[in-house]
Amino acid sequence: MGSPSCEHTSCTAHSPFYISHPHADTKMAWLDEAEDIKPPRSLLGLPELSWQGVYRPHYNRLAIAENPWVLRMTESPASAAPLSYTPEPSPPASSLIQDSPTETGGQLEECSLEQVQTMVVGEVLKDIDIACKLLNIAPDPQDWSCVHVQKWLLWTEHLYRLPQVSTMFKELTGRDLCSMTEADFKQHSLQFGDMLYAHLDIWRSAAALKERSPAEDSKSAAAADDDDSWSDVMCNYPSQPIHLWQFLRELLLKPRNYSRCIRWLNKEKGIFKIEDSAHVARLWGIRKNRPAMNYDKLSRSIRQYYKKGIIRKPDASRRLVYQFVNPV
């Protein structure tokens, strides 16, 4: 078992960006794969016990490599080739794209270069977005504190399987980092400075892109009719502890996205039905960073609400049907 090493090392030569790698989509794919799997503990391919030993909900130093969620998020080829960056004052987007990625043949010929480019850029932005939420940092490197920089470095180490580079960039803010040249980076780390510089440049370009066209967040959510608009599941980062009943309401209020797993039977009375208990439990587990969450445990939490008068069983008790005591 061990490390999910990637056998697609060959594509690094063709696709300079890790996001165009065939495995780039595993961050979503695991959710889809798990669709058919009943017990959530097998969702991660980890026995529950080994998980408990590893799980650290709050680490001072991000133990990313130990966090199965993260591991499945954005895998990159071990030999992730640094993007051959050419410093030119062209629009930032162009530094994200320079070669059409050799994706799954066929349909690619039909796509225009621009389509491919926007696709790739979209993937990059998505990845950055996810990283931001996981690390709880701003997308724009300029806004980073020293702590944020360290987090980002640790994340990048993980992405590219680098041996602790972060120690060589002590006490630097995001602003410091951005003002450094490629040569400066090389000075800090002879081997990986260029890679870090290139990766940072992607983030900077993405931040610059975002500034140009803000409020572009719903693009992919609208395109994919799949029920995985991540902002609902991954918290928008300040996120104080959310209550289960709030979470369920959130899902219920977005039937477009979640009606396949939870829906109102009678919205006025607050009666709802969980159509896919495993799926709802999985979403809840993602939100709370509880990979071992399942319906058995989720329902236990719902049952705690009986006493508190938040949720109850409706008068005619039915399987997987609950009722908010005070619907709004």
Partner DNA sequence: CATTAGGAACATT
Partner DNA sequence: AATGTTCCTAATG
Q: Binding residues for DNA, per CB under 7 A?
A: 38, 48, 52, 57-58, 241, 243-246, 277, 284, 288, 290, 292-293, 295-301, 303-306, 308, 313, 317-321
Quick one: 31 or 248, whose CB is closer to DNA? 248
Residue 66: CB minimum distance to DNA, A? 13
What are the beta bridge partners of residue 151?
Answer: none
Residue 34: CB minimum distance to DNA, A? 15
Residue 94: CB minimum distance to DNA, A? 42
Quick one: 61 or 243, whose CB is closer to DNA? 243
Residue 250: CB minimum distance to DNA, A? 12
Quick one: 70 or 124, whose CB is closer to DNA? 70
Quick one: 71 or 320, whose CB is closer to DNA? 320
Residue 131: CB minimum distance to DNA, A? 20
Quick one: 197 or 258, whose CB is closer to DNA? 258
